[in-house]
Amino acid sequence: MTLSIGLWGLLVVFHWLANRIGTPPYLWLWYQVSLAGFFIGTAIYIRQVFSKIERLDVITMLWRLFIIGMVGITLMLAMLMLHHILDEKLSSSMMTILSPAFYTISLFALLIFFLSGVFIYKRFILYQKTKRKLWSWNIFLGFMMVTLTLGITELFKPNGVPDTLDTSIDILFAVLLLYLATNVSWTAYLNFNQKLKALGLFVLVIVVSVTYLTALDRLPTELDLTDKGIGFFNQLMDLRFVFFIAAFTISYSAISILVLFFNLPTYSIFELKSSEIASFNKIHQAIQGNFNHTDILNTLLDASMLSSNARAGWVEILNGKQTSEVHIRKGIESEEIQALVDSYDMLGRVKEDRQYFLVKNTRRHKTFKHADSPFRSLLCMPIFVKNELQGAVYIANEMSNSFEDVTLASISSFVEQASTAIENAGLVQNAISLERYQEQIKIAKEVQSQLLPNALPNSSVLEFGVVNATAEEIGGDYFDIIRQDDLYRIAIGDVSGKGTTAAFYMAEIKGIFHALSLAKVSPKEFVALANQAISNCFHKGSFLTLTYLHIDVKTRELEMIRAGHCPSFYYSAAEDKISTLRKGTLGLGIVRNETFSKHLKYSDAIKFEAGDILTLYTDGVVEARNTEKEEFGYERFQEVLEANKTKSAQEIGEAVMDAVRLFAGEGIHDDYTLLIIRFL
Amino acid sequence: MEIIEKQQNGYYTLTPVGDLDANSSLEMDACINGLLQKDIVNLHIDCSQLKYISSAGLGVFISFIDEIEQKGGKIIFSHLTESVFDVFELLGLNQIVTIVTNGEEVSPLFSS
């Protein structure tokens, strides 16, 4: 910039000198160099200014160009006024210096304006840069340089360049200009308002350009400059370079105006497409699972209405297999929807056809015409998730035949996207609830594991062994041992059914067992009271099978009642024989009145000796089935016990379960508990 | 599981076919409940085609015993296979319900 201004100053000085002392040859050379430097320097400076701008904003750029032009025009007017004011006051000799200076300042403004035009339009032309565009631009730039050099030479050696060259330069310029000016791809990315603004600004730029050209034509006269007075400066206007940059700016503006003007009607399609893409994006985001159903359906309806240019629409979602409800509606009243929906079973139709249902004109349709609806076009696009009809999007318009095939395709793809989103949202929801459920089960399992004794009260007389597992996360098997001095109260039971309900009942049984243990009742009394308690607590149809026993380590006696539970095995070391203990009564909670005591008559009483083994268990052990659906059964059980009778209580328990697992493989589907008591 | 219902002279015969476990017990529950709603209180359960019964399956019958007795009806089981009888016996159910070995004994029991 400084260089340009410096060179401009130099030019003024040269001019003055030339007027004063004539034109010696050495001055010519310097004059030429400075002139070329002035043009090129200004051009480089302006080029830099506009290539620094990173984001191409057509409107802002055009505004700048217009403002640059207006500032230049204002400058010109200021020069004119200054001339008029000073003309009266100053001597004519002063004016011969000042007037050319004013003139050159105006020229400078013109040059800056048109160069700005060139380099701003360069950005437009190179929008979405390709190698070819860049090449043609560079050729254009090189061509301009050549023109400038030639022009300046010509300025000082008139007729030095043959006419044929002049003509060919003009033709080449026209060709290049035409080629570059067709690069108006940026227009496609403007919306309607931006296009209107750009149109206006281009017109203003042309107006400004024309103003400059006329002003320059008239300025010498206005400034009272004689031909001699302005000297070479006047000839500057004849420079082809100046003409070319002006022609370029004006032509490109004019072509842009035409392109914008003819593109105005198509704006809606571009806008539609870009909003469709935006809708797609929104639905895509929904697929990530951050949206709920209403958001997805809202987006779907908006997008569908937008792409079909429809005034009304609604989304109907199936509640159960038969009923459905309007989830969202836009631009239409509930009654109007009802009238249309009542006219024809559209949901049923789309479910049957598995594709959309379109009414081109409701007034001519055999059933819709009775609805007397203001909406003539009606589209019902079904939403299928996993092949199940979930509902439908309805789009209605007041004009008949208003849905094109392209629109139907768009809506159809929206629906597909949305149904994926809905499916995903469902999956996420399921995963969340499953996780929550598993978390709760985990807690339940922890609580339950605390219901079973965590330490076995082994003593010098009794040695316990326990193996216990649940088929599901939580089970219904229960066992407990309470020691009260010399008396051990032992219970093993199984609640009918499996899973959560059984587990809750198990917790109740623990309460009952511990409460009744405090009462220090006999086994028979215990069973009677427990039956009463369970009858009050358990749901009808649920019951408990229980084996309850007392072991007195002092008298070495045990008394046992089987209440519907699996019979226990007793190994007598003295007889070296395993017997089955089955005396007892019904399961608890089956007979819920006082008649229960009728069934409570018998119990097993044994005086135990060292080496005897009592095996208590739940039905999961004997009912484990192999692949042939055969049960493990009592016989195999006894065989394992027989084979392991010399081992410790825990080892016996594990030996039994090993045998069961070997037999059933994966076939253990129930909870199982083994409680082995070895008498010492 | 499938339940064959047959109206007899003065009672209803239900024949469960297959396994009566936790899942199919709901079906049996609905079936008996339906009959009791219609004041049919004399029930004959023909177990000839019952292969397996779980504790939950038994629970269904147990849950109706009181109601049937209160309404002055009876529930009689017949043709129990060995394994099914074992389950009845283990639980002590044989002490509170009538179990007969063949179908001819059923009818007189209801009329008495």
Express each pLDDT in A18-36 by its tens digit.
Answer: 665 555 566 666 776 777 7
Q: Which of B26, B28, B60, B62 to mutate to test the interface with A (most CBs of A within 10 A)?
A: B62
Question: Would the CB atoms of B92 and A564 count as touching at under 8 Å?
Answer: yes
Shortest CA gap A387–chain B (Å): 29
A291-429 folds as Beta-Lactamase (3.30.450)
Give the A window 220-249 contacts with B, CB below 8 Å. Answer: none
**DSSP H or E stretch at residue A438:** helix A405-451
Residue boundaries of the structural domains of chain B: 2-107
Closest A-chain CA to B55: A496
**DSSP H or E stretch at residue A672:** strand A672-679
DSSP state of A363: G
Beta carbons of A197 and A58 less than 8 angstroms apart: no
Give the residue-averaged pLDDT of A620-643.
90
Residue A590 touches partner B, C-beta closer than 8 Å: yes
Question: Would the CB atoms of B96 and A586 count as touching at under 8 Å?
Answer: yes
Q: Is residue A475 scored above 60 in pLDDT?
A: yes
Answer with the residue of higher pLDDT: A8 or A181: A181
Tell me the backbone φ, ψ of residue A361, rounded to 5 degrees.
-150, 110
Beta carbons of A410 and A364 less than 8 angstroms apart: no
Which residues in B lie closer than 8 A to residue A599 (C-beta atoms)? 92, 95-96
- Give pLDDT, residue A19: 60
- A445: buried, middle or exposed (CB in 10 Å: 19+, 13-18, 0-12)? middle
d(CA A473, CA A218): 100
What's the full length of chain B, in residues?
A: 112
Residue A421 touches partner B, C-beta closer than 8 Å: no
Which residues in A lie closer than 8 A to residue B81 (C-beta atoms)? none
Order of strands across the sheet that contains A388-397: A324-330, A312-318, A388-397, A377-385, A357-359
Question: Would the CB atoms of A585 and B66 count as touching at under 8 Å?
Answer: no
Q: Is residue A233 scored above 60 in pLDDT?
A: no
∠ CA A145-A150-A152, rounded to 5°: 95
d(CA A507, CA A527): 17
Question: Would the CB atoms of B59 and A592 count as touching at under 8 Å?
Answer: no
- Give pLDDT, residue A133: 83
Shortest CA gap A480–chain B (Å): 21
Answer with the residue of higher pLDDT: B102 or A680: A680
Measured CB to CB, residues of chain B less than 8 Å from chain A are: 22, 29, 55-56, 58-60, 62-63, 65-66, 90-93, 95-96
Q: Which of B29, B54, B55, B91 to mutate to test the interface with A (most CBs of A within 10 A)?
A: B55
d(CA A58, CA A195): 9
Q: Which CATH number fits domain A452-679: 3.60.40.10, 1.20.1260.10, 1.10.3720.10, 3.40.718.10?
A: 3.60.40.10
The number of C-beta contacts closer than 8 angstroms across A and B is 54
The reply to whether CATH 3.40.640.10 applies to domain B2-107 is: no
Shortest CA gap A599–chain B (Å): 8
CA-CA-CA-CA torsion sign (A509, A514, A520, A523)? positive
Of B55, B66, B92, nearest to A585 by CB-CB distance is B92
Question: Would the CB atoms of B62 and A543 count as touching at under 8 Å?
Answer: yes
Give the rounded distance of the alpha carbon of A219 from its chain centre. Answer: 64
Give the rounded distance of the alpha carbon of A41 from its chain centre. Answer: 52
For the segment A106-120, what is each residue's pLDDT rounded down to a tens digit? 888 888 888 888 888
Tell which phi-psi region holds residue A315, choosing left (phi > 0), alpha (psi between -120 and 50) or beta. beta
For the segment A542-574, what is each residue's pLDDT rounded down to a tens digit? 899 999 999 999 999 999 999 999 999 999 999
Q: Is residue A578 scored above 90 in pLDDT?
A: yes
d(CA A350, CA A356): 6
Residue A498 touches partner B, C-beta closer than 8 Å: yes
What's the full length of chain A, in residues?
A: 680
Name residue B76's beta-bridge partners: B44, B98
Which residues in A lie closer than 8 A to residue B86 (C-beta atoms)? none
Q: Which of A494, A500, A506, A543 to mutate to test the interface with B (most CBs of B within 10 A)?
A: A543
Strand, helix or coil for residue A600: coil
Q: Which residues, in sequence order, are CB contacts of A101 under 8 Å at separation 6+?
A: A12
Largest separation between any pair of C-alpha atoms in chain A: 152
Give the residue-averaged pLDDT of A213-220.
79
Range picked from A3-7, A152-156, A298-302 for highest mean pLDDT: A298-302
Whole-Å CA distances, A73 to A8, A38, A511: 19, 21, 101
Q: Is residue A607 scored above 80 in pLDDT?
A: yes
Residue A594 touches partner B, C-beta closer than 8 Å: no
Residue A564 touches partner B, C-beta closer than 8 Å: yes
Nearest to A453 by CA among A416, A418, A490: A490
Q: Is residue A644 scored above 90 in pLDDT?
A: yes
- Give pLDDT, residue A263: 79
Closest B-chain CA to A542: B59
pLDDT band at A636 (very low <50, low <70, confident <90, very high): very high
Whole-Å CA distances, A353 to A358, A380, A387, A406: 12, 12, 13, 20
Beta carbons of A564 and A585 less than 8 angstroms apart: yes
For the segment A43-96, what is each residue's pLDDT rounded down to a tens digit? 888 888 887 777 778 888 889 889 999 999 898 888 888 888 887 777 776 777
- Identity at A1, one-letter amino acid code: M
Question: Would the CB atoms of A496 and B55 count as touching at under 8 Å?
Answer: yes
Nearest to B84 by CA among B107, B109, B61, B68: B61
- Give pLDDT, residue A668: 74
The DSSP secondary structure of A541-571, one letter per residue, reads T--EEEEEEEEETTTTEEEEEEEBSPPEEEE
- ipTM value of the model? 0.88
Q: Is residue A229 scored above 50 in pLDDT?
A: no
- Give pLDDT, residue A161: 60
Q: Pick out chain B residues at pLDDT < 70.
A: 112
Task: Print burial letters for A449-482: b (CB count within 10 Å at least 16), e (below 16).
Answer: eebeeeebeeeebbbbbbbbebbbebbbbbbbbb
Of A494, A566, A587, nearest to B92 by CB-CB distance is A587
Name residue A357's beta-bridge partners: A380
Which residues in B lie closer than 8 A to residue A564 (C-beta atoms)? 90-92
| Neighbouring C-beta atoms of residue B3, cutoff 10 Å | 17
Q: Which residue has the tokens 């002279």?
A: B9
Q: Which residue has the tokens 């139709």?
A: A349
| Neighbouring C-beta atoms of residue A400, cutoff 10 Å | 16
Beta carbons of A199 and A260 less than 8 angstroms apart: yes
For the segment A319-344, what is each residue's pLDDT rounded down to a tens digit? 776 678 888 898 888 888 888 888 88
Which residues in A lie closer than 8 A to residue B56 (C-beta atoms)? 496-497
∠ CA A381-A390-A283, rounded to 5°: 70
Of B59, B65, B96, nearest to A496 by CB-CB distance is B59
Residue A477 touches partner B, C-beta closer than 8 Å: no
* Strand residues in A485-629 grouped as ranges (E): 487-495, 544-552, 557-563, 568-572, 577-581, 584-585, 604-607, 613-617
DSSP state of A624: -
**DSSP H or E stretch at residue A507:** helix A499-518
Residue boundaries of the structural domains of chain A: 2-269, 291-429, 452-679
d(CA A82, CA A98): 10
- Give pLDDT, residue A667: 67
Closest A-chain CA to B90: A564
CA-CA-CA-CA torsion sign (A212, A214, A215, A216)? positive
Strand, helix or coil for residue A390: strand
Question: Would the CB atoms of B63 and A586 count as touching at under 8 Å?
Answer: no
For the segment A160-169, what is each residue's pLDDT rounded down to a tens digit? 566 777 788 7
For the segment A665-677, what is each residue's pLDDT rounded down to a tens digit? 876 777 889 999 9
In this structure, the dihedral spanned by the alpha carbons of residues A642, A644, A647 and A650, taken in order and rounded to 10 degrees, is -110
Provide the mean pLDDT of chain A: 83
Beta carbons of B21 and B52 less than 8 angstroms apart: yes
